[in-house]
Chains A and B, each alone.
Chain A
Amino acid sequence: MKPMFGRGPSLQLRLLLAVVASVSLIFLDSKLDLFSPYRVFLNSLVSPLQYMANAPSQLLDTVADKVISREQLQAKNKELEHQVFLVRSDLLQMEHLKEENKRLRQLLGSPVRQDARKMVAEIMEVDSDPFTHQVVIDKGSLNGVFEGQPVVNDQGVVGQVLRVGSTTSRVLLITDNSHGIPVRFQRNDIRALANGTGNLERLDIPFVPHSTDIQEGDVLVTSGLGGRFPEGYPIAVIERFEYDEGMPYARVDAKPVVPLDRIRYLLLLWPGEAGGPSTPVPVNPEEREVSELPAAEVTPAPSQSEEPSNG
């Protein structure tokens, strides 16, 4: 019989060491945020595991792409051509409106809206901490992703980059419990905050007085006040506005416009960096430089079956 635990410290001492190490790690990580410089390195270290876990679904996707029939492809192509045609006709008007908007803003003396560089990222299908709302995307610091970067899709705001690895990053969704975003009501320019609730279907708007003019169905857009998200992207729609005279503030619930449990492709924004002056149709799907669209005129992506609406 081997001597149990013959070498090294006793089991109790090991446990003590492990507990002390974990508690100090938890404290240093959550309160002092000491590890953010090393997170890039740590995340890069484990990203092979994430790619391996993602491989089966990737493989299924590839197989599904390969076995698609000629008729299906032709039908899809026809549908896409039709949609590009419609979107292009909208864009003709867009250019005109943009120029007009720029001139009007110059007349008013307000700063002209900046264009943002955009990049398409795909969500990797790996599991995350069940207590937070996060997704992993397949772009990292090698692609220029930075912490706090705004992430949107074709429908509205999705969240912001929480942690960066060299080839993968984590995106914190707007519905996470710890996430808050400055918003503006599109109808009457009331400013507020939208906090995540831990529920994918609900955002909470705190500190709204009873007398505020809010109606169910009002659209919330980013106000651009935090300096993190560019102005004018839709976030949520008001679902409930209730007030109780006994309570100091009204209770306002909003529903995110993006179905956050069914997202696949995301757009990373570089708000400071101007994209090309105005490139109406993206040429390279991987890294396209599209001029930023104002909120009301975001056109649905070609992947959706509905007709593009003109806001």
Chain B
Amino acid sequence: MDKGNSRSMIYLSIVVALMLAILPLPAQLDAFRPDWLTLVVLYWVLALPHRVNVGTAWCAGLVLDILLGSTLGVRALGLAVVTYVAAMNYQLIRNFSVWQQAVVIGVLTLSCKLLIFWAEHLVSDIILMPQYFWSILSTMLIWPWVFLILRRTRRHFGVR
């Protein structure tokens, strides 16, 4: 497979993550919806930090802002900052086991969510519900599977 085509797998996975982020879920499960976009972007940052970093994350976050109808730039900011942290420490995080990585992903998701909350709180009066943080748990639990699927995809298509 030629290079341009294999690289489009990155963007395809981001588009799939965006779709999963707005997919309807039953009300009971909705609070536990994993942060798909954060997961996918962080995987690519750890795997190919020279290819996917702050710029890509910022653009993906902006699209999610438009999709969710929130203030523009809120999720772009959160995602760009945690991507920076991950890209700075990618060699360290890569050496962790998958479950240790899940903990790191959990911390990064938490900081992303706090940044989003803080930015939204500055522009409008919003109310923080405890459910807002429940999804961090599901994000951590689902990381190993996202990691395995995306690694297989990356190796299969030879994304570099």
Contact = CB atoms under 8 A, between A and B. Distances in A.
B19 to A, nearest CB: 5
B24 A26 contact: no
A185 to B, nearest CB: 26
A22 B58 contact: yes
Interface stretch (B72-80, B98-106, B138-146, B147-155): B72-80
Interface in A9-35: 11, 14-15, 17-19, 21-26, 28-31, 35
Contact of B68 (A11, A29, A129): A129
Interface stretch (A53-61, A97-105, A251-259): A53-61
Contacts of B80: 15, 18-19, 22
Interface residues of B, number: 48
B149 to A, nearest CB: 20
Given A14-B55, A15-B81, A26-B77, A126 B72 contact: no
A118 interface: no
A132 B129 CA distance: 12
Nearest to B49: A4
Contacts of B21: 127
A155 interface: no
B156 interface: no
Given A26-B123, A49-B15, A49-B22, A128 B77 contact: no
B127 interface: yes
A186 interface: no
Given A18-B54, A18-B55, A19-B77, A127 B24 contact: yes
Interface string B44-84: 00000110011101100011001111111110110011001
B126 interface: yes
Contact of A53 (B23, B62, B87, B132): B23
Contacts of A29: 71-73
A175 to B, nearest CB: 11
Contacts of B63: 46
Contacts of A86: none
A54 B19 CA distance: 9
B23 A131 contact: no
B25 interface: yes
Contact of A177 (B15, B125, B131): B125
Contacts of A6: 50
A50 B127 contact: no
Contact of A131 (B18, B77, B126): B126
A131 B70 contact: yes
A128 B81 contact: no
Interface of B is mostly: helix
Interface string A120-136: 00000111111110101
A184 interface: no
A99 to B, nearest CB: 44
A18 B76 contact: yes
Interface string A63-85: 00000000000000000000000
A26 B71 contact: yes
B9 interface: no
Contacts of A136: 69
Contacts of B126: 131-132, 177, 198
A49 B18 contact: yes
Contacts of B72: 25-26, 28-29, 35
Nearest to B91: A4
B70 A127 contact: no
Contacts of B76: 18, 21-22, 25
Closest 10 CB pairs of A and B: A25-B73, A125-B24, A22-B77, A18-B80, A30-B123, A129-B70, A22-B73, A14-B54, A131-B126, A29-B72
Interface of B: 15, 18-19, 21-25, 27, 30, 33, 49-50, 53-55, 57-58, 62-63, 66-74, 76-77, 80-81, 84, 87-88, 117, 119-120, 122-127, 129, 131-132
Interface of A: 2, 4-6, 11, 14-15, 17-19, 21-26, 28-31, 35, 42-43, 45-46, 49-50, 52-54, 56-57, 125-132, 134, 136, 162-163, 170, 177-178, 198, 261
